[in-house]
Structure 1
């Protein structure tokens, strides 16, 4: 390497290091700047208040929010596998007509892409992957618990939706909405 090029590189590196030293010494840190803003200074000298000393929150959480304690969440649940007998034993705790609008919303969001808006298996993705129709007598014969377990854990190439349809009640609402679709199209449903 030519001597003039190495001197130029050394000069640029030296100026860079010298510049870093200036920046470090002359520019104040954000911690130093904080106390020049008046309200931060008042916060430092004010009395500390703990608004939640009693442990209670002064308002009710909005509907559908996730509990802080994870109350309804069984974290090991995702590792369990429901067989047909176990799934058939599950009982739907949600009334057949309770929350149908929510079930329709969730079905439209998560299920209709494959199974179609009417459950015929003709959704945008379902046409390519061959999603089964949910409007057959065989599908109508599945127990609510079995359909719930399919929503929760998936089946075949269908991915599990238990982590997306988080609340158990909402998964049952999807089952109820599916039963409504089946009743409309098959003339009865289960």
Structure 2
């Protein structure tokens, strides 16, 4: 006996059973009669700390020591996440600018030179203007590495000629 027509008929009959989309349910942060404030969920009590928040804030608040390893990690992360917009040297001339997006500010602009490291960390995490936030994609330790690399880029574009070794000074003077 062929069972396929019965299986097909049963599947067709069950596909019309969609009671879950019409059942009563609570929509978060929407009006409801469950609590006295008229919402369907409660506001967290004052001082509530999310799981893992204290450890993350400790990492964010503690700048790691500046090492060659940190700068290498920062360069890798910068090239992955930042160069599409800011470009390799941080001039705001990344690939997306050539495709019609507005250029981001150059990282060596005076306004960005005056930002604190904490402000740079915050900008990487939350974004600013048209820049998207990267908090969900870049962990705090990696953000610190990016900040170190950005500071290195800024220093490289504002270093006085006298601070370079003699061989490099002569190479720049010959190139003029």
Measure, in 1, the Cα distance between the counterparts of 2:133 and 2:62: 19
Deviation, structure 1 residue 122: 0.3
User: What's the counterpart of residue 18 of structure 1?
Assistant: 2
TM-score by length of 2: 0.55
Once the two structures are superposed, the pairs formed by residues 100-111 of structure 1 within 5 Å of their partners are 100-111=71-82
Match of 2:121 among 135, 148, 151: 148
Instruction: Answer with 1 or 2: which has the greater Rg.
Output: 1
Match of 2:64 among 82, 94, 106: 94
Residues 122-169 of structure 1: per-residue CA shift (max 9 Å, x gap)? 00113432211111122111100000000011011100011111x211
Number of residue pairs aligned between Structure 1 and Structure 2: 110
Measure, in 2, the Cα distance between the counterparts of 1:179 and 1:96: 11
DSSP-derived class of the 1:99 partner? helix
Measure, in 2, the Cα distance between the counterparts of 1:125 and 1:92: 33
User: What's the counterpart of residue 186 of structure 1?
Assistant: 158
Deviation, structure 1 residue 94: 1.2
Deviation, structure 1 residue 95: 1.6
Once the two structures are superposed, the pairs formed by residues 29-44 of structure 1 within 5 Å of their partners are none
Measure, in 1, the Cα distance between the counterparts of 2:147 and 2:97: 19
Measure, in 2, the Cα distance between the counterparts of 1:186 and 1:73: 39
Q: Structure 2: which 5+ residue stretches go unaligned?
A: 8-50, 161-176
Superposition RMSD on alpha carbons, in Å?
A: 2.8
User: What's the counterpart of residue 140 of structure 2?
Assistant: 168
TM-aligned CA distance change 1:138 to 1:92, over 3 Å: farther
TM-score by length of 1: 0.51
Residues 23-82 of structure 1: per-residue CA shift (max 9 Å, x gap)? 9xxxxxxxxxxxxxxxxxxxxxxxxxxxxxxxxxxxxxxxxxxxxxxxx9439x8xxxxx
1:121 and 1:134 in contact (8 A); partners too? yes
DSSP-derived class of the 2:95 partner? coil
1:74 correspondence with 2:57: no
